[in-house]
């Protein structure tokens, strides 16, 4: 992290994820600050702070609120002046004309529009519209979105440890963080929070629920939940606490020699989490590693560098950035020999692996350090500088591009309205056509290409947890049928909820999905109005059983238990394991290339 001062602008550089390909409704987290987005767009961005100010009302115009004008001033002068320095002074006359046009239009709307207007929202949306003419990743963040970004990057917050969403007017729990106060008190995904502090919660917004659920560390909140199989409400008192958001979501031995680590996200704690996970696996006898960064949307640049450095020798180039502003041209090298530079490595990626994930996979591939297996990654290689403006809002502006060690720029092109770009993850992948200008070579002379994500060394489709189901299987997943089915289960011996239940299915860790449970699942589908295609159902038997087991494990036991059991049937993971002999040979190539480089 570096902090610099440029006149009135103090800039602190980090890299962070801002937004991602998911375009649905995001759940929010009950915390003392607003939550990290559940599915952030793959963005890499430098964080910065801008000290904003106010201006006096213009002659002949109505005085605007300080907040609104401060935002306008920061966007039109502080950002442009701070980023482009003398170039802005040369065009000051044009800037003044543009600024006058904007403020006069805003004044006319405030004075004459037929209805009441919110000047703050007008300015926010105007800035957002301006940024959307640039690229898919430049965007404006209102105070709530900016708080979510900072919280996600810090990897911790104060609250209950749940994410929530409004469904059919009810506050539904979408996720529980393991070890959190909510987890300890027995809340479950699918629970509906019916009352908060004795007040009916039906019909309130998610933001209103967050305001009521959050509070200082150590304070308590009374909630009442509805749960399938329980008559009446379940009353709980939950103590608020610090919530650590773990980015390593499972580390275990697949077999006697193969370790597995799932890095689900990047935050300021990711490299330390990874080192701890690898140390545990070393103690268990790990001789080769399967690193899973599928679905990882990215995060801080320094964490991508440190994670890569774990597997690379001192001096290896990891990534470099090029841009227009001061200090945007940077080369980042491995500072020390990584602790696992001699471990055969396979990295699992998919279409939702983006940004920082692509830095890791690109560096591993370019240095022939390991095999990349799965799908072509998202293709996000733009760097944003995030500037904090007045009232805790933020501006993310693309200020640089990043390149892999071989010189690849992996940013995918985008269409004018970004539709094709943002829906990339929803489409099946097809073989890419490459321009010869995009061709580069790894240290060992293997051919690689830029222009559209990191292409795997071995392609195998797997958009849903490593599986590539037919339309019927994808429909079941999209309808959340597996997660809904898991709500009917309870863990044998779990006494966190004392109230008696009826009709729930008890299972213990290590349970199996037998034909009786599959029949129960069929009955659920019929009861929810789905017409079952028998031939398609039989064809998707392996996928259906795997996802049933996975969702029940997530609901009752732990993320690691769920991931461990899923990996045993995950087609991408199982295919990758068969490739370790090739990964071992590639490690020899990497060592040879490194020796040559060291002698030059």
Percentage helix, strand, coil, to 5, in the chain? 35, 25, 40
* 89: three-class secondary structure by DSSP: helix
CA distance 388 to 48: 6
380 is catalytic: yes
For residue 304, the tally of other CB atoms under 10 A from its CB is: 29
What Cα–Cα distance (Å) separates residue 340 from each residue in 151, 238, 305, 313, 568? Answer: 30, 42, 15, 9, 25
Contacts with 271 (C-beta within 8 Å, 6 or more apart), sequence order: 303, 306, 307, 310
CA distance 567 to 177: 21
* 140: three-class secondary structure by DSSP: strand
96 is catalytic: no
Scan for tokens 């996600």, then name that residue.
152
Catalytic residue among 251, 368, 380, 570: 380
What Cα–Cα distance (Å) separates residue 460 from each residue in 225, 289, 382, 429? Answer: 42, 19, 27, 10
CA distance 427 to 518: 29
Q: In 4-142, where does DSSP find H-type helix?
A: 66-73, 80-84, 86-90, 92-112, 119-131
For residue 265, the tally of other CB atoms under 10 A from its CB is: 24
Task: Report angle CA 173, 176, 180 to the nearest 5 degrees.
Answer: 130
Name 167's bridge partners: 170
DSSP state at residue 20: B
Contacts with 538 (C-beta within 8 Å, 6 or more apart), sequence order: none
CA distance 311 to 288: 12
Cα 225–chain centre separation: 29
Catalytic residue among 355, 390, 425, 490: 355
CA distance 75 to 26: 27
User: Is 251:262 a contact under the CB 8 Å cutoff?
Assistant: yes
Enclosing H/E stretch for 372: strand 371-374
- What six digits make up the tokens of 16? 């962070």
Name 372's bridge partners: 347
368 is catalytic: no
CA distance 489 to 358: 38
Cα 464–chain centre separation: 16
| Sign of the torsion formed by the C-alpha atoms of 170, 175, 180 and 185 | positive
CA distance 416 to 218: 50
Contacts with 398 (C-beta within 8 Å, 6 or more apart), sequence order: 134, 135, 137, 138, 382, 383, 384
CA distance 361 to 356: 9
Q: Which of 127, 138, 210 is nearest to 389 (CA)?
A: 127
Catalytic residue positions? Answer: 355, 366, 380
């Amino acid at each position: 992290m570096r902090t610099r001062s440029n006149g009135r602008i103090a800039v602190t550089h980090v890299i962070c994820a801002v937004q991602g390909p998911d375009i649905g409704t995001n759940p929010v987290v009950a915390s003392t600050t607003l939550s990290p987005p559940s599915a952030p767009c793959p963005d890499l961005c430098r964080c910065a702070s801008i000290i904003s100010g106010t201006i006096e009302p213009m002659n002949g115009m109505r005085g605007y609120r300080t907040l609104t004008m401060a935002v306008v001033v920061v966007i039109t002068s502080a950002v442009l002046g701070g980023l482009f320095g003398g170039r802005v002074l040369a065009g000051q006359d044009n800037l003044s004309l543009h600024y006058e046009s904007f403020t006069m239009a805003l004044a006319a709307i405030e004075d004459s529009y037929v209805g009441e207007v919110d000047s703050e929202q007008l300015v926010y949306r105007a800035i957002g519209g301006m940024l959307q003419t640039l690229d898919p990743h430049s965007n404006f963040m209102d105070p709530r979105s900016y708080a979510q970004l900072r919280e996600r990057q810090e990897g911790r917050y104060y609250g209950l440890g749940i994410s929530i969403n409004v469904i059919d007017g009810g506050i539904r729990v979408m996720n529980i963080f393991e070890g959190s106060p909510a987890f300890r008190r027995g809340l479950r995904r699918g629970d509906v929070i019916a009352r908060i502090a004795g007040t009916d919660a039906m019909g309130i917004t998610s933001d209103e629920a967050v305001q009521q659920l959050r509070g200082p560390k150590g304070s308590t909140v009374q909630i009442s939940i509805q749960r399938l199989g329980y008559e009446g409400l379940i009353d709980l008192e939950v103590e608020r606490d610090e919530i650590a958001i773990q980015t390593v979501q499972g580390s275990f031995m697949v077999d006697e020699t193969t370790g597995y680590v799932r890095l689900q996200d990047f935050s300021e704690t990711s490299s330390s989490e990874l080192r701890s996970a690898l140390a545990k696996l070393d103690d268990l006898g790990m001789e080769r590693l399967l690193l899973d960064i599928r679905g990882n949307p990215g995060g801080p640049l320094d964490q991508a560098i440190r994670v890569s450095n774990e597997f690379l020798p001192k001096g290896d180039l990891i990534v470099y950035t090029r841009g227009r502003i001061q200090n945007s041209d940077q080369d980042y090298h491995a500072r020390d020999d990584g602790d696992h530079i001699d471990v055969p490595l396979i990295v699992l990626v998919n279409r939702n692996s983006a940004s920082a994930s692509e830095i890791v996979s690109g560096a591993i591939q370019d240095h022939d350090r390991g095999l990349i297996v799965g799908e072509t990654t998202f293709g996000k290689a733009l760097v944003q500088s995030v500037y904090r403006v007045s009232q805790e809002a933020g501006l993310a502006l693309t200020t640089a591009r990043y390149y892999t060690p071989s010189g690849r720029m992996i940013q995918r092109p985008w269409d004018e309205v970004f539709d094709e770009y943002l829906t990339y993850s929803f489409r099946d992948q097809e073989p890419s056509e490459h321009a010869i200008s995009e061709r580069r070579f790894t240290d060992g002379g293997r051919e690689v290409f830029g222009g559209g994500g990191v292409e795997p060394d071995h392609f195998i489709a797997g958009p849903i947890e490593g599986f590539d189901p037919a339309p019927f299987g994808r429909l079941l997943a999209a309808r959340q049928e597996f997660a809904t089915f898991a709500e009917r289960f309870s863990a044998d011996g779990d006494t966190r909820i004392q109230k008696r239940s009826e009709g729930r299915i008890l299972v213990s860790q290590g349970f199996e999905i037998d034909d009786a449970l599959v029949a129960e699942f069929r009955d659920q589908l019929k009861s929810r109005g789905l017409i079952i295609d028998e031939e398609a159902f039989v064809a998707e038997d392996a996928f259906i059983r795997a996802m049933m087991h996975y969702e029940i494990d997530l609901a009752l036991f732990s993320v690691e238990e769920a991931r461990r059991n899923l990996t045993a049937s995950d087609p991408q993971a199982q295919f990758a394991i068969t490739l370790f002999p090739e990964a071992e040979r590639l490690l020899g190539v990497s060592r040879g290339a490194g020796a040559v480089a060291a002698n030059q």
